[in-house]
Each structure stands twice: as structure tokens, then as C-alpha cells.
Structure 1
Amino acid sequence: MDEQIERIKSKLSQLKELDSEFKQFGAKNHKYILNPPLTLSQVNQFETEYQVSLPQEYVTFLTTLGNGGAGPFHGLNTLIDSRIMYFDDSELAQHSYFELSKPFPYTESWNVEKELAEIDEKIEQAYENGDEALEEQLLAEKSALIDLPQNDYGRLNISDYGCGITISLIITGEEKGNIWTDDRVNDGGIYSYAELENTGKISFLNWYELWLDHTIKESAI
């Protein structure tokens, strides 16, 4: 991990020189500058207060590189701000917060809007076939889906992609340490991170370095 941290330091410095005019997406927000690191005591205090154990890669980043700032898309949120599910800069902003200690429930992508659309098709077919029993069963399944909680727990909102899309670091449950994308606001569901040509699961430091490599390549063109 120490070697990767040093690579990240070097690549971030290289990127700042390559994109000195901040032309890359989000660069004008963070200008490739990281906030001062947290102390391990501060991280431990956060973990105690919210009854969580943060992924070690993320803890190492927070305590050796910085507490938010330069990062993918519009930059990294600070640890404390990462508790906020949705960001709104208006004066009347009403923030909602993740319930951090409960396990993140997913291991595969999930899109309730897609499931609802599929049930609606089945309901229509059952109605056309005159199958009232099946229609009632499907309506009950639809109602249960609509009433499902949004499952906003077990993760941190570490970056804002834009258009309501957020990037999450999973901190509890089977996916702990992995990066997920939440695009439910656009009916895109919630899924394991798939931007910047990534395939498969990806951990925090690998996600951050992937952004550096991608942006360095774009800046060198």
C-alpha cells in the first residue's frame, strides 16, 4: 500500500503540471489540491462516534494524503461531509445522512425502476388474460417494491459525479472497501463502479489511481 500511495502522490503532482489551466472535468473545483490529512486519532473518533470501521485503504489516504479535495469528477468530499447523501448548495438545503453502521445490502446492481417496469408488463398481461389472482399477486409485489426503504446505509458519498449521480465507498457489508455508483435519481439504479472503462469490483486506492491515469492520458493529448 505504501508503494501505491507514493505513486498517487507522484501522479497527482504530474497531473497538476499537465493540466495547469484546469481544463479537465472538475479540475476547476479542486485544482489538484488535497486538503490537509486527518490524524489517526480524528479518524478513530469518527469511527467510534458512528460505530464503523473504515476500509484501511481509505484510512491510509485520509491520514497520509488528504481529507478530501483533488479527486475524480468534482473532487473528493471530506470525511465528515461524506455522511451526506445529497448535496445542495442552496441556503435552505435540507441534508439527509447515511446510516453508516448498518450493512450495505447489495452485492449486485439493483434498479427498482427496471423491476417496476417489468412488473407493470406482467400486470398488463395478466389483465388481458383475465387472470385476476395473478394480477392481485403482482400488484402486491409492486406495492412492496414501492414501499422498500432506499437502503441509504453502509456507505459514504465520497464524490459528486454531477446530474445527481454520486460515488459511494462501501464501509460495511460484503462490499466493504469497494466503490459503487448511485444513479437512482435518473432511474439508473445503483451498481458497482463502471466509469473510466472500469470492469469488475474496484477498491478506493485503485479507483483513485485509475482516475489519475485516465486524466493524465487525457491531459497529455
Structure 2
Amino acid sequence: MTDWTGVRDRVLALAAVPGSDKVFGARAHGFALDATLTAAEVADLQAWLDVDLPEDYRSFLLHVGAGGAGPAYGILPVRREGSAGWHWVGELIEEVEPGMFAEVFPGGADPVATVGILGERPLEEEFDDPADLDAALEAWEERLGEVQYDPRRTAGALCLCDEGCGLMVWLVVTGSERGRMWRDPRCNGTDLHPMRDTDGLPLDFASWYLGWLTTTEAACGLDR
């Protein structure tokens, strides 16, 4: 079990440290945290998702907060919007149906679809009119985006963090990668990949979040 004792207070205390606003993303979240969720709310969230959340993220919701201060621009807060169900506030990804969270996370690229669409890129020598080339490239880029951002690519994962410029971070909740963090740089033309620590080991939610907290405290002169 992850021990979150004192973590909420440590995070909130950073707001009062001179210069802490210079930490990347701090001006967005201000080292503020949403209120924690109750056990009943977490149970309702899991029922809505139709998955059991990884223990470290589940206990974070119960003992630290439902979102707010964290790596980059912070943890996207999860909230219930009446009959509309739960959602992560600020999520940039296309909305998906709740049942998709219970599907197995595929991980990485779909090589057949990706290679196929990349091989269809219009070539300059195939067009006499630059306007026709531009139109073809625009249509191709739209199809590429549909392949890259197919919601099935991130089935079984929660979008938890905005790193800026379209870069996102996901927590896998279903499948062999359950409990691990994945970075999403598809906006740069590369693909989703697992996040790892300095020893090359996969990062889980607790390691990712507590690593950020320790590094941030050190940057603010609060070495523990």
C-alpha cells in the first residue's frame, strides 16, 4: 500500500516558498489540490469506469486530492457531473465511452495502420499544381490524425496530465501494463511509450508523483 501520509501538506506548503512559482507548470496549478474523494465517491468512480483503479492512484484520490498540483501542469481533476458521469477536467483527448476503460490497453503503435497511412503520404513529384498537392497533404494529415488518435489506441487508460504543447500522460488501468504511466507525444509525430525511472524501470503513479514532489522540493531548497 502506498503511504501518502503528509504528502498533501507537503504539496500545499510549496505555494508559500519564495520562487516556487518558477517551477515548470506551477503558475497553472499554484500548488493547490482539489479536495479528496470519499470512499463512496471512489467506489462510484470505479463502478462508472467498470475497472478497479491501481491502488496508488486510488489511495491518492482518497488521501491527497482528486487532482491539482503535480508534474508539469498538474493532475487533471476527476469530478462527477451529475447524470453525465465522471470526467477528467481539462482532458484534451476526444471523449470516449466509459466501457472503453475496461478494454485491454493495446500499448504502443498499431504497426499495420500506422505504416499503411505513412506509406500513403502524397509526394511532390506526383502533382503538377502546388494547390493540388496542398489539398492532398491536408486530406492525408487528417487521415493520419484519425489513425494516430483513434480512441482505441488508449482504451484501458486514463489521461491524467497535460505536459504542454499537446503532450499528455496516461495511467494504464487494464491489461498487462496496468498501473504504469505512459507518455503521449503523438502531437510530435512519435508514439505512445512507457515512462521509466533513472534505472530504466517502469514508472507507476506513486513513483511518478512522489518523484516530482521530491525534485520540486529540492528545487525550492526544501531537501528532505
TM-score of the two chains, using structure 2 as the length reference: 0.70
* Whole-angstrom distance in 2 between the partners of 1:164 and 1:102: 24
Tell me the secondary structure at the aligned position of residue 208 of structure 1. helix
- When residues 199 and 214 of structure 1 are mapped into structure 2, their CA distance, relative to the original with a 3 A threshold, is farther
> How high is the sequence identity, in percent, across the aligned residues?
26
- When residues 75 and 187 of structure 1 are mapped into structure 2, their CA distance, relative to the original with a 3 A threshold, is same
Give the number of the structure with larger relative contact order, counting CA–CA contacts within 8 Å between residues 6 or more apart: 1
* Whole-angstrom distance in 2 between the partners of 1:7 and 1:155: 28
What is the root-mean-square deviation of aligned Cα atoms in Å?
3.2
Matches within 5 A, 1:66-215: 66-79=65-78, 80-82=86-88, 86=92, 95-97=94-96, 99-106=100-107, 109-110=108-109, 116=115, 120=119, 149=150, 150-194=152-196, 197=198, 199-215=200-216
* Whole-angstrom distance in 2 between the partners of 1:218 and 1:167: 22
**Equivalent residue for 1:126?**
none
Contact 2:181 2:205 (C-alpha < 8 Å) held by counterparts: yes
- When residues 97 and 85 of structure 1 are mapped into structure 2, their CA distance, relative to the original with a 3 A threshold, is farther
* Whole-angstrom distance in 2 between the partners of 1:11 and 1:60: 17
- When residues 21 and 202 of structure 1 are mapped into structure 2, their CA distance, relative to the original with a 3 A threshold, is closer
- When residues 62 and 170 of structure 1 are mapped into structure 2, their CA distance, relative to the original with a 3 A threshold, is same
Matches within 5 A, 1:47-58: 47-58=46-57
Structure 1 position 31, deviation (Å): 1.2
* Whole-angstrom distance in 2 between the partners of 1:200 and 1:30: 28
Structure 1 position 197, deviation (Å): 4.9
What amino acid is aligned across from residue 202 of structure 1 in structure 2?
Answer: L
- When residues 71 and 12 of structure 1 are mapped into structure 2, their CA distance, relative to the original with a 3 A threshold, is same
Contact 1:111 1:188 (C-alpha < 8 Å) held by counterparts: no
**Equivalent residue for 1:38?**
37
Contact 1:18 1:216 (C-alpha < 8 Å) held by counterparts: no
Unpaired runs of 5+ residues, structure 2, are: 79-85, 120-145
Unpaired runs of 5+ residues, structure 1, are: 88-94, 121-145
Structure 1 position 152, deviation (Å): 2.4
Deviation per residue, 1:140-189 (Å, 9 max, x gap): xxxxxx96855221011111001111000111111111111011121121
Contact 2:20 2:220 (C-alpha < 8 Å) held by counterparts: no
Structure 1 position 34, deviation (Å): 0.9
* Whole-angstrom distance in 2 between the partners of 1:111 and 1:217: 40
Deviation per residue, 1:165-220 (Å, 9 max, x gap): 100011111111111101112112100114x8573201111110111122222233
- When residues 36 and 84 of structure 1 are mapped into structure 2, their CA distance, relative to the original with a 3 A threshold, is closer
Deviation per residue, 1:79-114 (Å, 9 max, x gap): 243388626xxxxxxx422621111012xx54859x
Contact 1:30 1:75 (C-alpha < 8 Å) held by counterparts: yes
**Equivalent residue for 2:15?**
16
Contact 2:77 2:89 (C-alpha < 8 Å) held by counterparts: no
